Structure 1
Amino acid sequence: MFEKDKWMSIGEIVAPQGLRGDLRIKPSSDFPERFTKPGKRWIQKTDELPTEIKLTKGKLIPGKSIYVLSIEGVSTRSSAEEIIGWKLVIPIDSRPMLSKDEYHYHDLIGLEARSGPSKALIGYVTDLIKGGNDLLEIELVEGKKVLVPFVKEIVPEIEIKEKWLLINPPPGLLEL
């Protein structure tokens, strides 16, 4: 049986690179060694069990947020094309420990977004958009999606175990 909560996506195979089976990976992890250090990894097709693979080499493409990986057994462009859309995953219990005020992407998705002194439910976190300043995508209870800067001044409190975060948006932010 597929146990989705035991695995965490760290990237997606988005395209082949060249003719020798190399793969372009769009990362969803801030730990580059997951894409550059050779060793055991797993890939996963949607709703299937992960398949163990061996990463033989990996590098970041300069100026882009894309890694190019070589995987044992994937040696042609056509074999690379067969796994486009698959996820690169890790066992959730292998996540590194983080410092205070650092969070794993996987832990933020699905949190209740609350606001105001009463901490009223206003929506749910649906995505974290990486960039110069990270943004939380919040789907408000009325169905509209908004982007909220993921900074301490606007998101002052996060309770992972209780599955919620507090948002103190400046006037007008949730109406954009």
Structure 2
Amino acid sequence: MQLVVGRIGRAHGIKGEVTVEVRTDDPELRLGPGAVLATDPAGAGPLTIEAGRVHSGRLLLRFAGVKDRTGAEALRNTLLIADVDPEAVPEDPEEYYDHQLMDLDVVTVDGTEIGRITEIAHLPSQDLFIVERPDGSELMIPFVSEIVPEIDLEAQRAVIDPPPGLIDGSQAVVASAREADADETGAETGDDAKGDA
């Protein structure tokens, strides 16, 4: 199965490096030198990673055949896609890949249905579940053990114990989290996040 593991941001310097918004918990494997990635749009790839490094909290990658800033700028906003074994699980039983969490039902500890996970947002400060509610609205749930005490993959659900105001005041959380992320990364999002794939 194929999953998005990153998004190319702006060019860095003049030698073909690009910033990358990481969308995987395993960047050393998925975004390491030698990795060959499909792209969206497909015409940009496949891309082979030649080198990578972290600079000021951001992942910088250089791809084979991309030697200058012009080539790097041409890749901006391209999604990087890896082939992932759907049966693969992280070594740490407390960790999950994004594809394991997508579409889980979200319920409170007393069984109240909240919605369904439609996206995992990887912000510099923390990971967040984007949850679609039955009325179509969205809310963000911080993916921390105090708020998400249980992930039950067999039952396909995430159990949450939200503090007062989290669910009712979620729209403010959404706006402030996204604004803080944009400020911190200069309009690029989540470059050093711990994502999943």
Verify: 1:158 aligned to 2:166, yes or no. no
Structure 1: 4+ residue segments shifted above 6 A: none
State the 1:10 CA deviation. Answer: 1.5
Which residue in 2 is equivalent to 1:70?
Answer: 62
Q: CA offsets, 1:10-53, max 9 Å, x none?
A: 1110111122222111112233424774213203114x499433
Task: Answer 1 or 2: which has greater helix percent.
Answer: 2
In 1: Cα distance, 2:40 partner to 2:166 partner: 37
In 1: Cα distance, 2:3 partner to 2:43 partner: 12
Q: CA offsets, 1:79-126, max 9 Å, x none?
A: 222221112222111856332121112322322212243x34321223
Q: Which moved more, 1:6-15 or 1:95-104?
A: 95-104
In 1: Cα distance, 2:39 partner to 2:8 partner: 10
Which residue of 55, 67, 81 maps to 2:73?
A: 81
TM-score, length-scaled by structure 1? 0.79
| CA contact 1:105–1:128 (8 Å) conserved in 2 | no
Query: Between Structure 1 and Structure 2, whose CA radius of gyration is higher?
Result: 1
Verify: 1:97 aligned to 2:98, yes or no. no
**Mind listing any 5+ residue stretches in structure 1 that lack a counterpart?**
1-5
Which residue in 2 is equivalent to 1:54?
Answer: 48
- Whose relative contact order is higher, 1 or 2, with alpha carbons under 8 Å and at least 6 apart? 2
TM-score, length-scaled by structure 2? 0.72
| Number of residue pairs matched by the alignment | 167
Between the two proteins, what is the percent identity of the paired residues?
A: 26
Verify: 1:28 aligned to 2:23, yes or no. yes
| Matched position secondary structure for 2:82 | strand
In 2: Cα distance, 1:40 partner to 1:28 partner: 15
Taking structure 1 as reference, are residues 104 and 131 closer, same or farther at Cα in structure 2, changes over 3 Å only?
A: same
In 2: Cα distance, 1:22 partner to 1:35 partner: 17
Taking structure 1 as reference, are residues 173 and 8 closer, same or farther at Cα in structure 2, changes over 3 Å only?
A: same
Taking structure 1 as reference, are residues 21 and 8 closer, same or farther at Cα in structure 2, changes over 3 Å only?
A: same
Task: Answer 1 or 2: which has greater strand percent.
Answer: 1
